[in-house]
Amino acid sequence: MRGDNPRMSLYAQHIATLQSRAESALTRTGFDALLIASGVEKYGFLDDRPYLFQPNPHFKHWLPLTQHPYSWIAVRPGKKPLVVYHQPDDYWHVPPSAPSGEWVEHVELVIVSEPGDAVEHLKLPGRLAIIGEADAGLAGLAPNNPKALLDILHFARGCKTPYELEQMRAASHRAAPAHVAAHKAFLAGASEAEIHRAYLIASGHTDRDLPYGNIVALNEHCAVLHYQYQDAGRPAESRSFLIDAGASVNGYASDITRTWVARQDTEFAELLAAMEGAQLALVDEVRAGVDYREIHLSTHRRIAAILAGQGIVKMSAEAMVAEGVTSTFFPHGVGHLLGLQVHDVAGFISDDQGTPSPKPEGHPYLRLTRTLAPGMVVTIEPGLYFIPTLLKELRAKPQGAAVDWDKVNRLLPFGGIRIEDDVVCRAEGAAENLTRDAFSAQA
């Protein structure tokens, strides 16, 4: 495979690797060239305001360009990638700047001022595989998104190149000081909205360019897995704080969650310490050749041990897992692939032919079922929550008799716990913990 020359830059190696992968996929699927649309701006219904632009992940896999609608890449065997770069003459908005950066020297570049002008450069001979949303097509160039080709590219994308890992390390280092700032704001009694603003300032992000909407939750809100609001009012008492927030560098994301408690002399603080130990132990299970589903099941066993050890549920750990009790307190999966997308693609296939890799029975929300391989970046995010609707269901079951409901009621005002690190699987030995490394750099 091309891209192994140590004298080449990381980006040069990366784009050579992508070229090699694409050429192999084209040959295997019977296509002659690959076209990738960056995407188009979309507008609200009956409105002239656009939604935030989200580039096609395949486009930003090749180029560190995230704010460039109406642009294209053409991949042709044996030739440099052709980039059709859309740069309108626009005085209503700031147009893309002139092409610059290392990527320019590795491509054949064409600049167009109108989206339709790209057509003459993209009508290549032979069968074309065209990746993009339906509305990104041009005259005679409608995206066909061939499944067989996408399975090949998506499966390979699970293992990151050295260039990609560098972007993800940088994304973790961008997020870590913002998490520290958010924690300080929480301890000062700030509202969810104020904490969010502290995070944005410290990360250098705005809401427009975050990799996903920040989850900023205080007290009972920590029990809402994807809590989507940010209260402007300060609570009468700040007991607990959960923040799930990342950062982005050149289109690559970090995804980090931390839970904090205002006072250490509480039952919730003891529970948080136990979850911290379990999370670090799960990170150590990230090794090449390990089935990620086993890490998820291990999470349930560890949470069962915590529930028993903290006196929340008086059952054996084995019985709690077998009878689904742990799913009341830990209803989601332990993590997912991470990269160009926060929930990166190809988490449920076992090979590049798209063979399904099923979820374990009784675990519908797990987002990754692959065997870990060197270069994969996964999140490890165990949680333990006190969710009223799920607790109500448990209380109505026979297993509910084993729960110390007085203790649960004391813990309800704290909401819940989630701790999430971004972890790189290595060829040998322990994983690289991007998140902990980034936090250590803040010390």
Query: Which residues are CB-neighbours of 88 under 8 A, at least 6 positions away?
Result: 95, 113, 114
Q: CA-to-CA distance for 380 and 422, rounded, in angstroms?
A: 7
Domains defined for the chain, CATH in brackets? 10-157 (3.40.350.10), 162-440 (3.90.230.10)
Average pLDDT over residues 15-40: 98
Residue 65 scores a pLDDT above 50: yes
Contact indicator for 254, 170 with CB cutoff of 8 Å: no
Tokens of residue 338, six digits: 């991470």
Nearest to 328 by CA among 220, 226, 223: 223
Query: Which residues are CB-neighbours of 324 under 8 A, at least 6 positions away?
Result: 362, 399
Tokens of residue 301, six digits: 């066993």
* 116-126 per-residue burial string, b: 16 or more CB within 10 A, e: under 16: eebeeebebee
Q: What angle do CA 396, 400, 401 make, to 5 degrees?
A: 120
Average pLDDT over residues 59-87: 98
Q: Of all residues in the chain, what percent carry a pLDDT higher than 70?
A: 98
Contact indicator for 441, 176 with CB cutoff of 8 Å: yes
**Which pLDDT value is given to residue 215?**
98
**Which pLDDT value is given to residue 8?**
83
Query: Which residues are CB-neighbours of 48 under 8 A, at least 6 positions away?
Result: none
Residue 2 scores a pLDDT above 60: no
**Which pLDDT value is given to residue 6?**
65
Q: CA-to-CA distance for 421 and 423, rounded, in angstroms?
A: 6
Average pLDDT over residues 193-215: 98
Q: CA-to-CA distance for 195 and 243, rounded, in angstroms?
A: 9
Instruction: Please say whether the dihedral angle defined by the alpha carbons of residues 131, 137, 138 and 144, taken in this order, is positive or negative.
Output: positive
Strand partners, 86: 112
pLDDT in tens, 294-339: 999 999 999 999 999 999 999 999 999 999 999 999 999 999 999 9
pLDDT in tens, 407-442: 999 999 999 999 999 999 999 999 999 999 999 999
Task: Give residue 1's pLDDT band: very low, low, confident or very high (50, 70, 90).
Answer: very low
Task: Give residue 5's pLDDT band: very low, low, confident or very high (50, 70, 90).
Answer: low
Residue 369 Cα distances to 242, 278, 291, 350, angstroms: 27, 21, 7, 8
pLDDT in tens, 349-395: 999 999 999 999 999 999 999 999 999 999 999 999 999 999 999 99
